[in-house]
Amino acid sequence: MSNWFIIHFQPLERYPPVVNFIRFVESQADYKKDLHVITVHPGKGRKTYEFPGVIAHRLGAVKERGKTQRILFYLLFNIRSLLLLIKYRPAVVLYYESLSGFAPLWYKRWVNKKARIFIHYHEYTTPQEYASGMFLNRMIHKREREMYNKVNWVSHTNSKRMEMFLHDVGKNRPSATFILPNYPPQHWIRTASVVKRVSDKRIGFVHVGALSLDSMFTREMAEFVAGHPEECYLHIYSDNHDKQAKEFLTGLNVPNIEFRGGLLYDELPAVLAQYDIGIILYKGVIPNHVYSEPNKFFEYLICGLNVWYPKEIKGMYCFDQPDNKPWVRRVDFAHLQLPSLSDGYRKEALSAQSYTAESVYIDLWRQIKSIQN
């Protein structure tokens, strides 16, 4: 195989698991610098990741568009992706989410029937969500369903999402299904291990990632922390938040809650390790959230943080560890109770972690390499 492709319609910079996999591939001794990645620019003012050993094709940029312009952008991305596949004729194409699937599925069906197709889903999408969503996404997913039994790899981030996906697919199930969790890189342990928690004697809560009032317990958590100014504080890092959430936090105007804007993914281990308890706030309004194992959970854990997560998130139940640090506790955000200082402080000495990107990406890499050999 002279080259192979990854297609990811959304900007890589917003999806750390893809970045982690590309970096993992680059680090392998048997990597031949034969990977092409098709994606888009992250948008004005946002950092663009560079991959020295990868040929990147950035087809346009994320920006505000009207409905017609947005549809044209999707169509052009897929057409240009197909032209690149026809030009380079890769033997392997890995694509993420249905919206990236038009070009590789068309390529396999009409150009190169021997091409090996790998599919990974960041999220679980219900049949109802496909039916009510964008026409192009619905059309591509229809073609996916017709070809699932002809692809080499279909993966979800956890077993429950895979179970629901297979139930939805019905008879024409893919024969090669895999679980590919979203774990952080192993080097995060080294980075976080030299970081000390801040000298503040209060318990430090931290939230990283998207923020919403409607789909998250943002209000409940903030009001709880605001009521305990002498015992705890909360820092929020987010560049993906709705207007209402930001206005609520501003209006709350309490000294022990700070909204600190966004962080680059690579900055996270040095920042997270300064706190004691990482919080997950999803209300579980859709099945994708109810049965999620959020990226931020593993990011908190690898940095030594204790974790609070809502009782509504059933996908987290298997990780319950209420006693030994770093503890993982299921909580009711309507009836929160502050732990004691000795219980709430994170453990300074970090333990070895099995939840690392390298531990799961090696299987995907071996599958791809087996086609090369």
Domain boundaries, the chain: 4-183+356-372, 187-344
Give the pLDDT confidence score for residue 373 in this predicted structure.
Answer: 65
Give the pLDDT confidence score for residue 86 in this predicted structure.
Answer: 98
pLDDT above 80 for 299: yes
**What is the average per-residue pLDDT within 162-173?**
93
Give the pLDDT confidence score for residue 284 in this predicted structure.
Answer: 95
pLDDT band at 13 (very low <50, low <70, confident <90, very high): very high
Collapse the DSSP code of 41 into the 3-class scheme (helix H, G, I; strand E, B; otherwise coil) and give the result: strand
The H or E element that residue 137 is part of is helix 135-147
Q: From the centroid of its chain, how far is CA 297?
A: 11
Between CA 304 and CA 299 the distance in angstroms is: 9
Least reliable range by pLDDT among 24-33, 59-68, 237-246, 286-295? 59-68
pLDDT above 60 for 1: no
**From 3.40.50.2000, 3.30.930.10, 1.10.10.410, 3.90.79.10, which CATH number describes the 187-344 domain?**
3.40.50.2000
Give the pLDDT confidence score for residue 62 in this predicted structure.
Answer: 73
- φ and ψ of 363, to 5 deg: -70, -40
Q: Angle of helix 67-88 relative to helix 135-147, nearest 10 degrees?
A: 30
Between CA 104 and CA 18 the distance in angstroms is: 18
Asked if 292 contacts 182 with a C-beta cutoff of 8 angstroms, the reply is: no
**What is the average per-residue pLDDT within 38-53?**
91
Asked if 78 contacts 27 with a C-beta cutoff of 8 angstroms, the reply is: no
- φ and ψ of 331, to 5 deg: -130, 160
DSSP 202: S
Reference 364, options 9, 35, 13; nearest CA is 35
CATH no. for 4-183+356-372 = 3.40.50.2000
pLDDT band at 350 (very low <50, low <70, confident <90, very high): confident
